[in-house]
Structure 1
Amino acid sequence: MRFTAVDLFCGAGGTSVALKKNYDIKCAIEYDPIIAETYQNNHDSSHLIIEDIKKIYKKEFLEKVFLQRGELDLLIATPPCQGFSKHSKKKNFILNDTRNKLIFHVSRVVTYFHPKFILFENVGNIINNNYFYILLKKLSNIDQEGYPIIKTQPSYHINFQIVNATDYDVPQKRQRLILIAKKIDSTDLPNTNAFITLSKKGIPQVSAPLNIWPDKKPAKKLGEFLKPHNLRKLEAGETDPEDELHTVRNLSELNIRRLEATPKNGGSRNSWPESIWLDCHKKKNVSYGDVYGRMSFEDYAPTITCGCLSLSKGRFGHPTENRAISLREAALIQTFPKKYKFSGSIEKKALQIGNAVPVNLAKLFINAITANLIETKLQPVVSPPSDPVGVC
């Protein structure tokens, strides 16, 4: 049984990997030509539009997707998250990052297709931004009495939660907000359960969240997860001759000494002798204790970021080898297939991997939606009762 999907902000294509089993992807959007090349090298590119979503209008969407309103099964939206990150020094509700407004193109595309389901992913801290509350109100489109606010637009029953990827088959401590929305059939109105409010703390909430969510599937620890891939051991600066993505940055002699002094499987710079400390770490109350630390095979990886190849950007030291992790290891921790190809410079590849939605995380949530689509499709159509014979 096949369904249809549109993948907004598709990036390197992690969610498209997750879609392939049960969905025909009708359209995918990526504005960066190098990232789009990665997508093209791993997927059928006939449905790809390489353009800024702000410049793609209704006519182009409809010509590409070629579905009537209500026929699209799933719209996936994973807009840029940097503007919503809690790392900003400013309060998130007053941030004026122009990237934040990209989330409103999700509701714009929803008005074109009226999809049966929406799957949305972003950083957890987005719940503190007023833009997210506005998006929820637009998607819900339900007033306090349970009726559509704008009658010509679809209404959705929503469930959103902040999840840890380790609970969903990803060997990585990565907290993300996931949202599932299901279109409300006209026969199910009024629906007061779908009304969006704000808690006393100003956090958006659904009166009674949609009851569609995948069961948790705890991931294997890092060592157990990576073992079947049998990756070649590398020195700092080396590249596997049989896998160009299994490549690691070079390190100075001093940084190699620092790694040698870092206990294997989870050690940190706290074990270094003072002679090899960084000047900035000699100050009191220095934070970011994870930098220059090692991952552990007995634990989950930290969040894979765009800086995952650098020891100074986080706990990205290899658990046992005296180097940082490779691009291939980072991609595997993001649960990309081992043969997945990435285009661009080493920095551009790291950017794509760090920004991606982990494939296994996407799979479990897509599977939950697919199960509901199948159930709905298999339900018998009940005809209305005919008038009794002889009654006018």
Structure 2
Amino acid sequence: MKFSAIDLFSGAGGVSEALKKHFDIKCAVEFDKIIATTYALNHGSDHLLVKDIRKIKKKKWNKIKKQLNGENPDLLVATPPCQGFSRHSRKKSVVNVDDRNKLIMEVIRVANIFQPNYILFENVDNIVNFKIFHIFLSVLTNLNSEGYKKHLDRPSYHLRFEVVDAVNYGVPQHRKRMILIGKKINAFPNTDAIIQETVKGLPYVTTPLSLWPEKKEAPTIREYLKRYNLSSLEAGGADKKDKLHRCRNLSPDNLVRIRATPRNGGSRSDWKEEQLTLECHKKSNVNFGDVYGRMNFDSYAPTITCGCLAYTKGRFGHPEEDRAISMREAALIQTFPIHYKFTGKDGGNAYEGSSENIATQIGNAVPVKLAQSFVDLIYNQLLNEAQIEFFPEQLVAATQA
């Protein structure tokens, strides 16, 4: 039994990859044409809108709504841009006015039109410190202090949101993200779902929705990658059979640096020759200790970012070979399947175009297995609800037996 879903800010399609086993994706929205090309290579383009979500008019949404035959979609997924909410943003959250942050309110606009039964929302962990996210929670919940709807024509949602680490959901990578699940409220009053604030001004749900996946320990990088039997590479090398298994070249100085870095977890602090260290890294207050580091095969990867191909931008050195990780390795650590296609060119074929564009898509994606944990949970919940709706007497009899 398949349910219906809408995927907003779909990116390269990591969440859609998790969705398609149990959900019929009625619409996906992606603004960037190159990224949308990657999405289409893997999921088709018939349901894909390549457009700024702010410019999609209600008339267009209503046309999509007709495809649902008057039914509400079962699930609305939204993974809006996170750069403006990142801890690495140059502006602190109290003064950050990054225009992209307003995009989260588009999720509410679409939710008000479609009134989905469930909402799944993902972003960086630091979003909880932003006032616009607090407003987002309050508007999405749509409840007054007595637990009744504030706006009768809009849906209300019982929420649960937490900061999670992807490593606890089968992903061989430390990646902290804020995940939110919302379930449409059909009976009022509901005082459990009211949004409140702590004395420090942080939002919380009075009694969070009791729906959350169980944690699942991830395999190490070695355990996860060994099944794919990837070929060895030199810096700047490429696999003739797997066009995504290619890595950046290294300068002569950086080749010396990585050769001086111990395998499986070594970092620049292990260098014995002082001249290898850049002057800017010699200052006592310098952070970013992972820069010029190697991953550890017997542990987990650091967060895969848009700069994941660069040895100089994080702990993206290969655990044992003298090179940075390849695009294929980055995609696998993000738990994309081995057959997943990427392109760095508008309208391009698989693996064409800019490696930087492909790295950006991989780094910005929701890890497929992280998404799968939450998608499967919601699917099973919908399945149980459908069985109760269509076979109530049989379920009651089975329970009594």
Common fold, TM-score beyond 0.5?
Answer: yes
Q: Give the secondary structure class of the aligned counterpart of 1:309.
A: coil
Question: Residue in 2 aligned with 1:225?
Answer: 224
The offset of 1:202, in angstroms, is: 1.1
CA distance in 2, matches of 1:83, 1:218: 30
| Counterpart residue type for residue 377 of structure 2 | A
Q: Give the secondary structure class of the aligned counterpart of 1:244.
A: coil
Q: 1:355 aligns with which of 352, 364, 387?
A: 364
| Counterpart residue type for residue 370 of structure 1 | Y
Q: Give the secondary structure class of the aligned counterpart of 2:244.
A: strand
Q: Describe the shift of the 1:381–1:322 C-alpha distance in structure 2 as closer, same or farther (beyond 3 A).
A: closer
Q: Give the secondary structure class of the aligned counterpart of 1:379.
A: helix
The offset of 1:89, in angstroms, is: 3.6
Question: Residue in 1 aligned with 2:192?
Answer: 193
| Counterpart residue type for residue 324 of structure 2 | A
| Counterpart residue type for residue 102 of structure 1 | L
Question: Residue in 2 aligned with 1:150?
Answer: 151
CA deviation vs aligned residue, 1:345-379 (integer Å, no higher than 9, x gap): 10000000000000000000011111110111000
Q: Give the secondary structure class of the aligned counterpart of 1:200.
A: coil
The offset of 1:380, in angstroms, is: 4.3
Unaligned 5+ runs, structure 1: 384-392
Question: Residue in 2 aligned with 1:210?
Answer: 209
Q: Would you say 1:367 and 2:364 are equivalent positions?
A: no
CA distance in 1, matches of 2:139, 2:172: 34
Question: Residue in 2 aligned with 1:138?
Answer: 139
Question: Residue in 1 aligned with 2:21?
Answer: 21
CA distance in 2, matches of 1:161, 1:380: 30
Question: Residue in 1 aligned with 2:164?
Answer: 163
Question: Residue in 2 aligned with 1:377?
Answer: 386
Matches within 5 A, 1:319-358: 319-344=319-344, 345-358=354-367
Question: Residue in 2 aligned with 1:175?
Answer: 176
Given that 2:83 and 2:89 are in contact with CA atoms closer than 8 Å, whether structure 1 keeps it comes out as no
Question: Residue in 1 aligned with 2:92?
Answer: 91
Given that 1:70 and 1:114 are in contact with CA atoms closer than 8 Å, whether structure 2 keeps it comes out as no
CA distance in 2, matches of 1:382, 1:221: 43
Question: Residue in 1 aligned with 2:126?
Answer: 125
CA deviation vs aligned residue, 1:22-81 (integer Å, no higher than 9, x gap): 100000001111111001111121000000001101111221342256521000000000
CA distance in 2, matches of 1:222, 1:75: 32
CA deviation vs aligned residue, 1:110-153 (integer Å, no higher than 9, x gap): 01100000000000000000111111111100111110010111
Q: Describe the shift of the 1:183–1:249 C-alpha distance in structure 2 as closer, same or farther (beyond 3 A).
A: same
CA distance in 1, matches of 2:22, 2:90: 42
The offset of 1:279, in angstroms, is: 2.1
Given that 2:239 and 2:246 are in contact with CA atoms closer than 8 Å, whether structure 1 keeps it comes out as yes
CA distance in 1, matches of 2:5, 2:84: 26
Question: Residue in 2 aligned with 1:113?
Answer: 114
The offset of 1:88, in angstroms, is: 2.2
Q: Describe the shift of the 1:377–1:314 C-alpha distance in structure 2 as closer, same or farther (beyond 3 A).
A: same
CA deviation vs aligned residue, 1:279-310 (integer Å, no higher than 9, x gap): 22233332211100000011100000000011
Given that 1:264 and 1:294 are in contact with CA atoms closer than 8 Å, whether structure 2 keeps it comes out as yes
CA distance in 1, matches of 2:281, 2:137: 43
The offset of 1:91, in angstroms, is: 2.1
The offset of 1:92, in angstroms, is: 0.5
Q: Give the secondary structure class of the aligned counterpart of 1:323.
A: coil
CA distance in 2, matches of 1:195, 1:140: 7
CA distance in 2, matches of 1:168, 1:368: 12
CA deviation vs aligned residue, 1:78-100 (integer Å, no higher than 9, x gap): 00000000112432132100000
CA distance in 1, matches of 2:96, 2:82: 13
CA deviation vs aligned residue, 1:222-260 (integer Å, no higher than 9, x gap): 111111011010000011111111110000111111111
CA distance in 2, matches of 1:352, 1:382: 44
CA distance in 1, matches of 2:3, 2:293: 44
Q: Describe the shift of the 1:40–1:112 C-alpha distance in structure 2 as closer, same or farther (beyond 3 A).
A: same
Q: Give the secondary structure class of the aligned counterpart of 1:293.
A: coil
Question: Residue in 2 aligned with 1:388?
Answer: none
CA distance in 2, matches of 1:68, 1:178: 30
Given that 1:69 and 1:112 are in contact with CA atoms closer than 8 Å, whether structure 2 keeps it comes out as no
Unaligned 5+ runs, structure 2: 345-353, 393-401
| Counterpart residue type for residue 275 of structure 1 | Q
Q: Give the secondary structure class of the aligned counterpart of 1:364.
A: helix
CA distance in 1, matches of 2:284, 2:116: 54
CA distance in 2, matches of 1:69, 1:131: 32
Question: Residue in 2 aligned with 1:46?
Answer: 46
CA distance in 2, matches of 1:284, 1:195: 47
Question: Residue in 1 aligned with 2:11?
Answer: 11
